[in-house]
């Protein structure tokens, strides 16, 4: 038994990737590299603008700073390794695979609940505007940011700890372009039923609990907006939520499509396309969504650039 146990853990995994065609791999490398550069510039730029402009030191932009940080980290966990695999070998060490999986689950769960915190912030701003400065105190804001990180860490730790104790004694080919839970779980030569149920429950709780919070917040927001008589005030209220609602729709749409559907209806190709979207593309879209649709961010960027010119 001990001899068999010692031979179960494979030293490394092979990531199957997105395609076997060298021409397509080169094209994907160029596209993904451009997307990653835009992601880094967009999210770092968003963080710096918010930090440098005192007018943006409000709860909404405090949450947006952390969203940019998570998106930047989220993309960095997946994209550089994917770029390397498109040009060189697809090998990833056992520890490297589970490290990537840990941060992927951690940051993904944290983003879900951070989006919930942002929805609550918009609810207070629109439904309780007179009490907004009191309710959204510094203490509550830090709690609403710390909570998502803690939940994400616990979720990820439980997932990865249980999976790292499994035995992998046959195939080491991961049918994906990164170490996601389901493709790695499929390689185990031991019974994974209990762990699959646990992962499904944790993923379902993360997605549904955060989505219910967001839906409830926007139900109250919509109810309040419909009671406003002024058309201009309605448009202003809608505009403050439009960016967040668009980001939520894109993020949750792809996550639910990938993780909360029966295995029999799963398609490797479609799952990979959805995975590319929420791991590589969405971290690039978020800073664009929140900046292009936000006059305050645009004005803050102009002020920062003007101060830089004046300092010269």
Confidence of residue 5 (pLDDT cuts 50, 70, 90): very low
pLDDT of amino acid 2: 36
Give yes or no for residue 18 having a pLDDT over 70.
yes
β-strand partners of 14: 91, 173
Instruction: Express each pLDDT in 209-243 by its tens digit.
Output: 999 999 999 999 989 888 888 777 777 777 778 77
Mean pLDDT (the chain, rounded) = 85
Determine the Cα–Cα distance for residues 44 and 47; give it in Å rounded to an integer.
5
Which residues have CB under 8 Å from 147's CB, separation 6+?
Answer: 113, 117
Q: Residue 3 pLDDT more than 50?
A: no
Q: What is the pLDDT of residues 155-204, one digit of tens each?
A: 999 999 988 888 887 778 898 899 988 889 888 888 888 888 898 888 88
Question: What is the layout of strands, in order, in the sheet containing 173-174?
Answer: 91-93, 12-15, 173-174
Other CB atoms within 10 A of residue 165 CB: 11
Find the helix or strand (DSSP H, E) in which 161 lies. Answer: helix 138-164
The class that CATH gives domain 16-311 is mainly alpha
For residue 267, what pLDDT is reported?
52
Give the mean pLDDT of 116-143.
Answer: 93
Q: pTM for this structure?
A: 0.88
**pLDDT for position 7:** 39
| 250 pLDDT higher than 80 | yes
H or E stretch at 112: helix 94-127
Residues 238, 174: Cα–Cα separation, whole Å: 44
Structure tokens at 99: 């490290």
Mean pLDDT of the region 263-291: 76
Long-range contacts of residues 34-40, Cβ cutoff 8 Å, at least 24 apart: 35/79, 35/280, 35/281, 35/284, 36/75, 36/79, 36/80, 36/83, 36/280, 36/284, 38/284, 39/71, 39/72, 39/75, 39/79, 39/280, 39/283, 39/284, 39/287, 40/72, 40/75
25 phi and psi angles, rounded to 5 deg: -60, -40
Domain ranges within the chain, ordered by starting residue = 16-311
């Amino acid at each position: 038994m001990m001899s068999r146990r010692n031979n179960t853990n494979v030293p490394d995994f092979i990531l199957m990737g997105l395609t076997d065609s060298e021409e397509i791999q080169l094209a994907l490398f160029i596209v993904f590299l451009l997307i990653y550069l835009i992601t880094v510039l967009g999210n770092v730029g968003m963080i710096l603008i918010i930090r440098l402009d005192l007018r943006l030191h409000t709860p909404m932009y405090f949450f947006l700073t952390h969203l940019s940080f998570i998106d930047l980290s989220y993309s960095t966990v997946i994209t550089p390794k994917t770029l390397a695999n498109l040009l060189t070998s697809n090998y990833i060490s056992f520890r490297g695979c589970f490290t990537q999986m840990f941060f992927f689950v951690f940051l993904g769960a944290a983003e879900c609940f951070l989006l919930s915190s942002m929805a609550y912030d918009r609810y207070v701003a629109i439904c309780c505007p007179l009490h907004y400065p009191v309710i959204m105190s510094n203490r509550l804001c830090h709690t609403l940011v710390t909570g998502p990180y803690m939940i994400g860490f616990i979720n990820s730790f439980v997932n990865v700890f249980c999976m790292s104790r499994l035995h992998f004694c046959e195939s080491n080919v991961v049918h994906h372009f990164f170490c996601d839970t389901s493709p790695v779980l499929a390689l185990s030569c031991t019974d994974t039923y209990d762990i699959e149920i646990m992962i499904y429950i944790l993923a379902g709780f993360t997605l549904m609990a955060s989505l219910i919070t967001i839906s409830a917040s926007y139900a109250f927001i919509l109810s309040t907006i419909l009671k406003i008589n002024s058309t201009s005030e309605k448009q202003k209220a809608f505009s403050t939520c439009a960016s967040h609602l668009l980001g939520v729709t894109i993020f949750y749409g792809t996550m639910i499509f990938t993780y909360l559907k029966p295995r029999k209806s799963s398609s490797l190709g479609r799952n990979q396309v959805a995975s590319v979207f929420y791991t590589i593309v969405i971290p690039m879209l978020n800073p664009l969504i929140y900046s292009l649709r936000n006059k305050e961010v645009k004005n803050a960027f102009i002020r920062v650039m003007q101060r830089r010119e004046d300092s010269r």
